[in-house]
Structure 1
């Protein structure tokens, strides 16, 4: 299927959890500034947030001509995976693009995604940190790509993701049994089906980092709890714990703890390292991860 012509149909899915509409306005405004002409269908998948509240916000935006923006209720099954699945299944478009409610896509995001999906079945782009976060909150303005996880395949984030619809249908979309790493899992399963991820520099997203240290610790602990589930699920295809990576993390954690008293940037680094260690330890001790 060629995606080069203007007849390519484009859908965008934004999952919205409970009390996550605070930053949704800037994301809507960024979508409305897209450089790609022609119609786009946007589905805001409300997974705990009242549909009426999101619809009221949708009505405040001056959307481009031909765009369709609707809010649907996906709260029957809770979680980001269920919300995204309900969103893409509500669309009938050649490509489906995913972004989050609290980030901000670049003006060329849709153009870049479609350009990347002309050459691949899965596409991602830069995650930038310099516009939505204070300077002390990030070490580099752009997240590195690719970040290979567990000696296997690159990390993939649903905050900046595009797929041909055929790939979503073939893979079944996001695994709703996973409380985290569902985007990595989907990207890996797509690769097994013959659709490796393409990186498109023009499809950038400004990514909002967690600000408070305690929240950062909890967030990284949550993700780390699911690392073992991810590895176990993909072990047959080659995913493995890398001893050298674990040792490096342990050494870096010790260094981060030693530097923590010397400023909030260092305390932030320590929270990330220690949260990950705590999550790994909980899983090693047999604690079953939850979706939150």
Structure 2
């Protein structure tokens, strides 16, 4: 069983916490962990890996995937360097739960693609989030559920059939991959016990920029999957515009409302920039 952790520029800040969570897993089988450096200094990542007390029988490797920038390229380099049938993906700045590997392995015993919940209460202050857990499923563009690579497991055979992550995407590459796997007969399976604590952007400016970046790639996502049923839902877009306007009005009345406005404005700004 293999795990891929992409590490981008600045991604070493919380990496130690994620690796410490991985070594505390209830899973007792052998594991190969690949750290894919895509803009992060390889020497810095190697130092963090060397300082981690890995369980007996676990293997670790650090690969440099910076020749082609982007999360898709980083994850592709990671899973292609593995020889395992099961491949799990998580991010460098989050924290997986102790039963994460075990739950993912059980999920992939009956499915080709597996995901679990993202929780917001472990790494973020209460005022930073509206719901403890991201709901499942979130259906995007009237099509299929949103699947995130922050908490993703896939069989290697599915990765090979799909060709892996599309490097043309600098965001939404995980949604694109999960949708293409569904077309091949591998719908995403949800495991409620495969929990990942998700780290939110703390500053309003970073939150706005992050959601603007994500939304910019929605155009490519819809265009690529239009023939399979993805489309811009006029009603949903209109509701978002109205909700954005209201969130701006409410923004001065508290930190949480300001964050909501940043998220909605960032998404709208991203949609307006192709």
Using the size of structure 2 for normalisation, the TM-score is 0.99
Secondary structure in 2 matching 1:70: strand
TM alignment of 1:196-211, pairs within 5 A: 196-211=187-202
Moved more, 222-231 or 94-103: 222-231
- 1:4 — aligned with what? none
Separation in structure 2 between the aligned mates of residue 28 and residue 174 of structure 1, nearest angstrom: 23
- 1:156 — aligned with what? 147
| Structure 1 segments (4+ residues) deviating >4 Å | none
- 2:161 — aligned with what? 170
Moved more, 220-229 or 35-44: 220-229
Which of 31, 55, 61 aligns to 2:46? It is: 55
Cα drift, residue 167 of structure 1: 0.2
Separation in structure 2 between the aligned mates of residue 33 and residue 211 of structure 1, nearest angstrom: 27
Q: Deviations over 1:228-287 (max 9, x none)?
A: 11000000000011111111111111211111010110110001111111111223xxxx
Separation in structure 2 between the aligned mates of residue 77 and residue 114 of structure 1, nearest angstrom: 30
Q: Count the aligned residue pairs.
A: 274
Separation in structure 2 between the aligned mates of residue 190 and residue 140 of structure 1, nearest angstrom: 29
- 2:133 — aligned with what? 142
- 1:108 — aligned with what? 99
Cα drift, residue 55 of structure 1: 1.1
Secondary structure in 2 matching 1:178: coil
Establish whether residue 232 from structure 1 lines up as the match of residue 223 from structure 2.
Answer: yes
Secondary structure in 1 matching 2:272: helix
Establish whether residue 254 from structure 1 lines up as the match of residue 220 from structure 2.
Answer: no
Structure 1: unaligned runs, 5 residues or longer = 1-9, 284-292
Establish whether residue 64 from structure 1 lines up as the match of residue 55 from structure 2.
Answer: yes
Separation in structure 1 between the aligned mates of residue 158 and residue 193 of structure 2, nearest angstrom: 22
Separation in structure 2 between the aligned mates of residue 282 and residue 11 of structure 1, nearest angstrom: 37
Separation in structure 2 between the aligned mates of residue 42 and residue 30 of structure 1, nearest angstrom: 13
Separation in structure 2 between the aligned mates of residue 68 and residue 282 of structure 1, nearest angstrom: 43
Structure 2: unaligned runs, 5 residues or longer = none
- 1:186 — aligned with what? 177
Separation in structure 1 between the aligned mates of residue 34 and residue 185 of structure 2, nearest angstrom: 28
Which of 109, 123, 126 aligns to 1:132? It is: 123
Secondary structure in 2 matching 1:143: coil
Separation in structure 2 between the aligned mates of residue 76 and residue 277 of structure 1, nearest angstrom: 32
- 1:84 — aligned with what? 75
Cα root mean square deviation, aligned: 0.7
Which of 2, 5, 21 aligns to 1:14? It is: 5
- 1:286 — aligned with what? none
